Structure 1
Amino acid sequence: MRINLPTWLTLFRVLLLPVMVIVFYLPFRGANLAAAVVFVLAAVTDWLDGYLARRLNLTSAFGAFLDPVADKLMIAVTLFLLVQSHRGGWPGILMAVTASIIVGREIGVSALREWMAQIGARSKVKVAFLGKLKTAMQMVALVVLLLQHDAETLRLYHVGEAMLVLAGVLTIWSGLDYLRAAWPSLREDSGEVKKSEKKTVQSG
């Protein structure tokens, strides 16, 4: 298997994740800024690998598999870091609940897309504008939170918290939108499963 440039960029994005975790916990002045810079660099490679793949027609099955995995890892790892380092209380609970919603939705939609692909209906759950808006809101919120998580004044941190909660609302909305698009196929398949179970019982 030959790895092309967009896939190398995706692999580089995955390798940046442990770097961000290490920098996040290192006890030096400006660690928050360094962690945010690593996150932004990973986000830029996310845009760049997709652009190059389309522009240069450098697509591959491995790259198509790895790219969404890298995206979800980047979001999930950053959320885990922020939840663990949060100052507690109701804001901490809200952060944990929002992070759980975002990660849970990503897992659910990924499973839904995989199932729809198996029945040849993947196009029904393709990425929509709402999903892109949700992702953009998440990215901006996470950059703000990484920059401000250990700051003495948390004014911008609270802005990041509010943006992340809004991203959580968009996450639920877009997840329901994907589910609505896939529901006819889910309902139809459920009926087919019941019919096959009845045949099995009758034959047994």
Structure 2
Amino acid sequence: MNIPNILTMLRVVLIPIFVIIYLLPFPWVYTTSSVIFAIACITDWFDGYLARQWNQTTPFGAFLDPVADKLIVAVALVLLVGSHSRVIHGTMVNLCLTLSAIIIVSREIVVSALREWMAELGARANVAVSKLGKWKTAAQMIALVILLANPPILTTPVIIGYVLLTIAAVLTIWSMIHYLMAAWPYLMTDNKNKIEENNK
């Protein structure tokens, strides 16, 4: 156990706290939830940086880090869709939020499965995180921080959050296509023997 792994575990521990606070019937829950989510985003960058600088990368950290990231993003999206759909009925922006959430969560499932499969072939580097993926993550995190910090009412900050999340969803599709294209030669060939060799 080292500091990067502790920071990663902290993000997992923050998830139930984040959910409980967001669901409380008090006006301060939005700011508090947003701060908790922002802390999780900061620790995401910080634990990776420390692990590389201190040469403390571990199999446990490599496994848990992306899991923690995807969990807290998925939870935030579910909470936002639930709270906004109860207040903002039948509007185009609400539809954008719901579709963006579906796209982002679906993409994470597809790309995670793709990376696991490529790792079995010894070609995971072909679907490593790209600059496009980093731009997507940045837009997504900023959008979620803004949306969590504000009540589900059509104010200017909320609309900005919707726009950023829609941009993140578009970049999500683009980056998924990028990863699928990189993996396409492997998907279209018989890699059964190579998988068996790598599993020996």
Q: Same fold (TM over 0.5)?
A: yes
Distance across 2 between alignment mates of 1:160 and 1:103: 17
Partner of 2:44 in structure 1? 46
Equivalent of 1:96 in 83, 95, 98: 98
1:128 pairs with 2:126: no
Distance in 1 between residues matched to 2:161 and 2:73, nearest whole Å: 15
Distance across 2 between alignment mates of 1:67 and 1:15? 13
Q: Measure, in 2, the Cα distance between the counterparts of 1:171 and 1:76.
A: 14
Alignment of 1:2-41 (within 5 A): 3-41=1-39
Q: Partner residue of 1:110?
A: 112
Match of 1:170 in 2: 171
Instruction: Return the TM-score normalized by structure 2.
Output: 0.91
Structure-2 separation of matches of 1:161 and 1:36: 15
Distance 2:60 2:6 in 1: 11
Equivalent residue letter for 1:185: Y
Aligned partner of residue 188 in structure 2, secondary structure: helix
TM-score, normalised relative to structure 1: 0.89
Contact kept, 8 Å, 1:82 with 1:149, in 2: the verdict is no
Q: Which amino acid aligns with 1:32?
A: Y
Q: What is the alpha-carbon distance in structure 2 between the residues aligned to residue 100 and residue 150 of structure 1?
A: 19
* Long gaps (5+) in structure 1: 194-204
Instruction: Provide Cα deviations, 1:89-146, integer angstroms capped at 9, x if missing partner.
Output: 1322221111000000000000000000001111110110000000000000001101
1:73 corresponds to: 71
Taking only the aligned residue pairs, the percentage that are identical comes to 52
Work out whether 1:62 is the aligned partner of 2:64: no
CA contact (8 A) 2:152 2:158 kept: no
| Equivalent residues of 2:4, 2:61 under 8 A apart | yes
Give structure 2 stretches of 5+ with no counterpart: 194-200
SS in 2 for 1:188: coil
The 10-residue stretch of structure 1 (85-94 or 103-112) with the greater mean CA deviation from structure 2: 85-94
Shift of 1:29: 2.6
Write the distance in 2 (CA, Å) between the matches of 1:124 and 1:189: 17
Cα distance between partner residues in 1 of 2:159 and 2:190: 45
Paired residue total = 189
